[in-house]
Amino acid sequence: MTPHAVEVRGISKSYGGEIQALRDITLEFPRGELTTLLGPSGCGKTTLLKIIAGLIQPDAGEVLVGGRRVTGPGPERAFVFQDFALMPWATVLRNVGFGLELRGTPRGEREDVARRYIEEVGLLGFEHRYPHELSGGMRQRVGLARALAVNAEVILMDEPFSAVDEQTRRKFQEDLLQLLAQEKKTVIFVTHSIEEAVYLSNRIVLLSRRPGSVSRIIRTSFDRSGSPDEIRRAEAYLDTVEEIWQLLKQYLV
């Protein structure tokens, strides 16, 4: 087994033959780590994530998952969407089980699995509610449970907390870290928030402005054993945030 859950090699992508979104991106995503793609808006980080998901075809380059080349979506990867992408006509239970439903898992079995993950993300009791009855934060918990329910090795998260208010986001980040510690997933996480990236990640990939290319990879190395509030006050955490801010500042007008 390769040590990397996901590798991208020489990925380039342009839109309409004119706007180059990504230029020659080569990256590895180590197994069991949370890697953040961080960069200014329009740097193509979401495009890169969707290429890894198999939702967008690159113009050049290849994506390897578990050492095997992939050209489309596959069961080893699950996606968490920025706008949640829940089916408004379906209950929480059906939404969470939807990935399994598409795979033809029998109803009873997929509902058992769905219930387990609904509990894990803290939505016990909301199984039969509809998305419009939930708050933004709860909706994204449904999105996360859906991604966990298919038992994919790699979870791709596209700015999952950007449509959620600040307090909810912090709580959600803490819960996410806890969940991932249990589930041992490889996570690729897109965000434009430096604090979020530093707080959540093992590695942070800084992308330059369009056309996006890898400008720097930073490994966070501060002590995570403390409480979330201690981490957010720790000097190493604050230093990393500051370091990234200094690097990203050059891309701002």
Partner 1 sequence: MRLSRLPMMSSLLLWGLLWEAVGRAELVPIVPPLTEVVVTFGRLLGTETFVAAVSTSLVSFALGLFLAIVIGIPLGVLMGRVDAADRLLGLWVNVFASAPLTALVPVLMLLFGLGSTTVVVTVVLFAVWIIVLDTRAGIRHVSPSLVEMARAFGASRAAVYRKILFFAALPEILAGIRLGFIRAVKGVVIGQLLVSIIGLGELFELYSRNFLMREFWALTLGLFVFALVGSAAIGLLERRVEYYAASRG
The DSSP secondary structure of 4-24, one letter per residue, reads EEEEEEEEEEEETTTEEEEEE
- Residue closer to partner 1 by CB (options 89, 245) is 89
Instruction: Provide, rounded to whole angstroms, the least separation between the CB of residue 36 and partner 1.
Output: 20
Which of 70, 81, 162, 236 touches partner 1 by CB under 8 A? 81
- Residue closer to partner 1 by CB (options 165, 242) is 165
Which of 10, 41, 67, 75 touches partner 1 by CB under 8 A? 75
Which of 47, 63, 79, 188 touches partner 1 by CB under 8 A? 79
Using the structure block, give the residue that is written with the tokens 């090795």.
153
Could you tell me where the beta strands, DSSP code E, fall in the chain? 4-15, 19-30, 34-38, 60-65, 68-70, 77-80, 154-158, 186-191, 203-207, 214-219
Which of 43, 48, 53, 154 touches partner 1 by CB under 8 A? 53
Which of 42, 54, 136, 228 touches partner 1 by CB under 8 A? 54
For residue 198, count other CB atoms closer than 10 A to its CB: 26
**Contacts (CB under 8 A) with partner 1, residues 87-116:** 87-89, 98-99, 101-103
Using the structure block, give the residue that is written with the tokens 């890169």.
48
The 3-state DSSP class for residue 103 equals coil
Query: CB–CB of 16/129 below 8 Å?
Result: no
Size of the site for partner 1 (CB under 8 A): 27
d(CA 239, CA 157): 25
- Residue closer to partner 1 by CB (options 92, 244) is 92
Should residue 73 be labelled a site residue for partner 1 when binding is judged by CB under 8 A? yes
Should residue 234 be labelled a site residue for partner 1 when binding is judged by CB under 8 A? no
Query: CB–CB of 137/168 below 8 Å?
Result: yes
Site string for partner 1, 183-222 (x = CB under 8 A): ----------------------------------------
For residue 74, count other CB atoms closer than 10 A to its CB: 15
Instruction: Provide, rounded to whole angstroms, the least separation between the CB of residue 130 and partner 1.
Output: 8
Question: In degrees rounded to 5, what are phi and psi of residue 108?
Answer: -60, -45
Interaction site with partner 1 (CB under 8 A): 50, 53-55, 73-75, 77-79, 81-83, 85, 87-89, 98-99, 101-103, 130-132, 146, 150
